[in-house]
């Protein structure tokens, strides 16, 4: 069985071998060497001078944690354009925060001017944005959003890049992102269970004043432990081994080559979409580079298509997320995919497409 769903994605043999290395003590010198050793590459990948933290949780842990660390008595604006970004509003409210929605229709991006209009109302402490909304295949214009955020220096920007990290450039410091977070099982093609994040100086200043940060996701605990190349609690050491191996892969390929590879593979899928008379769910100019959300304008039986792919080719494809089930299907090109693997996928899709 091979996964072409947009997360978890297929994990390579090499990553698995690293994942399965024997355990070491998490307060040992060996661990500190492992942890400290990957920091320079992590910082380079995050394009930040700040430390990069590793949280043994899925991305949602840090998504919740960022709200708890950066939002006190003021409001948080949750920008919503799909399943994951919509859920962030509920999560903020469950943390007891005053959360407001900036909701656009699923399939549309979040635009800078929409955020500006909301923030002008005043009283906001932070904004959450999902860079690449995995459920709809929409890539929101992050640079445009970051430029708007400069007009509101007291409002901090929290960005989820779970399915765009290392796919397109995201210069954290240059764009002024306050919390940049990602998860292990999508764009990074590792097993699920680890989240990576970095926080700006402004984010730490805010966290110092915010009460009720809790312990497990307290940014100040992460910062304190990082000084000694450690995590606050016992981390998933296996994931850190896997991450070390993945960083080796990424820097061997070269970061910009990696971006280019994703663009090329994404274009291959795009050509398949057009060739077969389908449309894209996301508008031109705002399409994800790591997955394609295909609009089922032909009205095919998506469930049968997905089942045939599985039965005949051992390929797992997604038949649409939540309310988009059957109305769309999603093709992932994230992680370690190659020209060969994507060409094979598209041939299998041709074979299973109802006439």
Ligand X SMILES: *Cc1c(COP(=O)(O)O)cnc(C)c1O
Residue 55 binds to ligand X (criterion: CB under 6 A): no
CB of 218 to ligand X, least distance (A): 19
The single residue among 59, 110, 242, 327 that binds ligand X, judged by CB under 6 A, is 59
Instruction: Provide the mask over 188-227, with x wherever binding to ligand X is found by CB under 6 A and - wherever it is not.
Output: ----x-----------------------------------
Q: What are phi and psi of 328, to 5 degrees?
A: -145, 170
Q: How many CB atoms lie within 10 A of CB 213?
A: 18
Q: Which of 78, 75, 77, 141 is nearest to 108 (CA)?
A: 141
Cβ contact 194:243 at 8 Å: yes
* DSSP structure class, residue 243: H
193 or 232: CB nearest ligand X = 193
Residue 130 binds to ligand X (criterion: CB under 6 A): yes
Q: Distance between CA 70 and CA 205 in Å, rounded? A: 9
Number of continuous H segments (helices) and E segments (strands) in the chain: 13, 14
Query: Which pair of structure tokens corresponds to residue 22?
Result: 């024997």
115 or 162: CB nearest ligand X = 162
CB of 245 to ligand X, least distance (A): 20
Residue 337 binds to ligand X (criterion: CB under 6 A): no
CB of 326 to ligand X, least distance (A): 20
Residue 318 binds to ligand X (criterion: CB under 6 A): no
Taking CB under 6 A as the binding criterion, the range among 23-31, 40-48, 71-79, 160-168 that sits at the site for ligand X is 160-168
The single residue among 2, 43, 60, 173 that binds ligand X, judged by CB under 6 A, is 60
Q: What are phi and psi of 233, to 5 degrees?
A: -125, 175
Q: Distance between CA 355 and CA 351 in Å, rounded? A: 10
**Cis link prior to 34 (omega < 30° from 0)?**
no
Cβ contact 85:60 at 8 Å: no
Residue 58 binds to ligand X (criterion: CB under 6 A): yes
Taking CB under 6 A as the binding criterion, the range among 120-128, 155-163, 205-213, 314-322 that sits at the site for ligand X is 155-163
The single residue among 56, 69, 92, 134 that binds ligand X, judged by CB under 6 A, is 134
Residue 181 binds to ligand X (criterion: CB under 6 A): no
Q: What are phi and psi of 342, to 5 degrees?
A: -75, -35
Q: Distance between CA 265 and CA 85 in Å, rounded? A: 26
62 or 309: CB nearest ligand X = 62
Where along the sequence are the contacts to ligand X (CB under 6 A)?
A: 7, 58-60, 84, 130, 134, 160, 162-163, 183, 186, 192
């Amino acid at each position: 069985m091979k996964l072409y769903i947009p997360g978890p994605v297929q994990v390579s043999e090499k990553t698995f071998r690293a994942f399965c290395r024997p355990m070491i003590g998490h307060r040992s010198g060996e661990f500190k060497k492992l942890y400290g050793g990957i920091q320079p590459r992590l910082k380079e990948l995050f394009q930040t001078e700040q430390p990069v933290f590793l949280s043994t949780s899925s991305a949602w842990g840090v998504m919740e944690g960022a709200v708890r660390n950066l939002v006190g008595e003021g409001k948080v604006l949750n920008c919503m354009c799909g399943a994951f970004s919509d859920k962030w509003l509920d999560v903020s409210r469950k943390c007891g925060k005053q959360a407001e929605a900036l909701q656009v229709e699923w399939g549309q991006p979040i635009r800078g001017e929409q955020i500006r209009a909301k923030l002008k109302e005043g009283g906001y402490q932070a904004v959450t944005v999902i860079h690449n909304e995995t459920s709809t295949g929409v890539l929101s214009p992050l640079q445009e959003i970051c430029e708007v955020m400069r007009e509101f220096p007291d409002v901090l920007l929290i960005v989820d890049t779970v399915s765009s990290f290392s796919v397109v450039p995201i210069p954290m410091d240059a764009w002024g992102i306050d919390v940049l977070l990602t998860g292990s099982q999508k764009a990074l093609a590792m097993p699920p269970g680890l989240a990576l994040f970095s926080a700006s100086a402004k984010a730490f200043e805010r966290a110092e004043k915010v009460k009720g940060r809790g312990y497990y996701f307290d940014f100040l605990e992460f910062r304190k432990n990082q000084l000694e190349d450690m995590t606050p609690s016992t981390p998933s050491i296996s994931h850190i081994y896997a991450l070390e191996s993945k960083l080796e892969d990424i820097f061997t390929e070269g970061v910009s080559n990696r971006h280019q590879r994703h663009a090329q593979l994404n274009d291959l899928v795009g050509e398949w979409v057009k060739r077969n008379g389908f449309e894209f769910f996301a508008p031109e100019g705002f399409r994800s580079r790591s997955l394609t959300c295909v609009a089922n304008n032909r009205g095919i039986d998506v469930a049968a298509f997905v089942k045939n792919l599985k039965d005949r080719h051992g390929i797992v494809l997604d038949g649409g997320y939540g309310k988009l089930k059957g109305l769309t299907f999603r093709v992932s090109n994230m992680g370690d995919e190659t020209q060969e693997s994507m060409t094979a996928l598209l041939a299998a899709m041709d074979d299973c497409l109802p006439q």
